[in-house]
Chain A
Amino acid sequence: MKVAVCIKQVPDTEAEIKWDTQKGVLKRDSIDPITNPFDEFAVEEALLTKEKYDCEVYAISMGPERAQDVLRNALALGVNGVYHIMDESLSGSDTFGTAYALAAAIKKIGDVDIVLMGRQSTDGNTGVVPGELAAILGYTPLTYVAKIREIDFQGKKIVVERAIEGGFEVVEGKLPAVVSVIKGINEPRLPNLMGIRKAAKMEIPKWTCDDLGIEKNKVGLSASATKVVEISVPPPKSQGEILKGELDEIAEALASKLLDLKIIK
């Protein structure tokens, strides 16, 4: 009974962002990093699953040296083990390259029943890695999960509620499965001092492409079919209009202007 949880280190949204315009990739070393907010829910769900079903939980992150911080945080929270996928040739991977490398790590951990991850990252915002990962591994894709109702590790089944347009879909899936979670599935806990102290001393195992048997022609910047070719600041919105005057006049003016747009029928 094993659960793997994928976590990504992302730049803090509030931070100033710098791009390597030559390569079209982020200068990640210039930004305050945090754990992707959606992944915090995935880690919490993994810990809740561990407490309820007594399974093992392993956290994986792919990224440069400093990405080990998010893994150390997961250790402090109480996961059984962590693995850091780090290899220069992975740098610049697109979503497929990322999913391919994560799939290799999950296979290496072996016998993983459930892969948990956030529904998307707040930097790339693509939300496609969970689906790609499930397809590469041949696992059941269960995305946008708002609640895990039940897991039957022996019977190889899981029942979840998915938040999709217009409502909640209750789905039974076969295990193994990739489960991506949304905000609100739980309340992520904070690590306690003892956990932090313990995690600070632990060794973070690193996996390179060779360790994972990854074909280098499938990952990294040069292998990615999709490439960033230009980064620009969107043109500023034309100067807006602040309506001034008595409340009655302003409301009258705004109502007229909005009706003129012919959006309200």
Chain B
Amino acid sequence: MGDVWVYIEHREGITSPLSFELLGIGKKLAQERGGKVCAFVIGENIDSIVKDAFAYGAEKVYSVTDPTFKTFRSDLFSKAACGLVEKYGPDVILFRSTTQGTDLSSSMAGKLNVGLCADAINIYHENNVLKMVRAAFGGRFNVTVANERAVPKLVTVRPKAFEMPEKKEGQEGELVKETISVPESDALTKILDFVKSAVTVNLVEADIIVSGGRGVGKPEGFALLKELADLVGGAVGASRAAVDSGWIPYEHQVGQTGKTVKPKLYIACGISGAIQHLAGMRTSDCIVAINKDPDAPIFKIATFGIVGDLYQVIPKLIEKFKAKLGK
């Protein structure tokens, strides 16, 4: 009892280090209740994922392998996951609030008849009650949610809300292999194709985002932002105004009707900082604002601000970075 499970997401066996990020907070929560932090992995070829889960600190790993679990499908994965849960009875299950984490957790919540706390930015036990903090109304309020009685307690967590756990190669633990197979004829879905996006960097996973708004003024301006982003190893984001103007595709949009991001560094160029935009990025660790208007609301949340024309500031900044980084 008191075990905390972490769902390890992957795409056909491919993970990123962030797939394992919740093992850190999972361990802390498990210790608070005298339980173990356990990972669960569902897939076809997942041996290396299991190994990595131990390396990132899982004390126990539950694995389910079957050819039908090659690609994530929430209808099938939730059947396997619910089977595991019913057999082993974890207390808390953590998922990342990505599309996969949200799909799996919501399907499980519906099947298991329990509630779910979504997109938590902090989680802790207080007097043995699980409490989760989430941002509401564009981050203007923090709402603390308590879950006293659901079994298990499902929580999705905003990517990058917690420190990455340390990876210790060769660390081992207990592996529980479970055989759960679902006949393909029971599947509600069939994956026909996967079209890789032209956007090479995933905004939600990016540590650095260079983002442009109305002040960019034209589609070509995003080439300049991309140059800066490439130089510092970041991704390009955009405000709704820039997307609605047709300067850049929707998949770059950050904000209430776009993506919620939490990079270590967010460089906002020509973005005034409407509440809808702030909703998607205000929890970034360091925010740089470059804007002509000294009264732009973005400066209120910025760590560093430059009042000026982005078309003068960014080329200069690129020049300085090139010199300092020796590129």
A residues with CB within 8 A of B: 11, 13-14, 17, 19, 24, 37-38, 94-96, 99, 122-136, 139-144, 159, 161-174, 177, 183-184, 224-234, 237, 240-243, 247-248, 250-252, 254-259, 261, 263-265
Contact = CB atoms under 8 A, between A and B. Distances in A.
Interface in B285-325: 286-289, 299-308, 312-313, 316-317, 319-321, 324-325
B145 A229 contact: yes
Contact of B317 (A13, A124, A159, A254): A254
Contacts of A226: 115-117, 145-147, 150
Given A13-B279, A131-B74, A228-B145, A172 B305 contact: no
A22 to B, nearest CB: 15
B59 interface: no
B187 to A, nearest CB: 9
A264 B302 contact: no
B294 to A, nearest CB: 8
A142 B256 CA distance: 21
Interface of B: 11, 74-75, 78, 97-100, 102-103, 105-111, 113-119, 131, 135-150, 153, 156, 188-197, 202, 204-205, 207-208, 232-233, 250-251, 253, 256-258, 264-265, 275-276, 279, 286-289, 299-308, 312-313, 316-317, 319-321, 324-325
A142 B287 CA distance: 35
Nearest to A233: B141
Contact of A164 (B99, B208, B257, B317): B99
A174 B276 CA distance: 36
Contact of A135 (B109, B194, B279, B306): B109
What's the dominant secondary structure at chain A's contact region?
mixed
Contacts of B264: 261, 263
Given A127-B119, A135-B109, A258-B304, 4 more contacts: A125-B119, A127-B118, A172-B192, A264-B265
Nearest to A164: B99
A165 B110 contact: no
10 contacts: A94-B116, A96-B113, A128-B156, A134-B107, A140-B75, A143-B102, A165-B100, A172-B189, A258-B232, A258-B288
Contacts of B301: 237, 240
A133 to B, nearest CB: 7
B113 A264 contact: no
B192 A170 contact: yes
A254 B300 CA distance: 18
A45 B189 CA distance: 21
Contacts of B140: 17, 233-234
Most interface-central of B108, B145, B232 (chain A CB within 10 A): B145
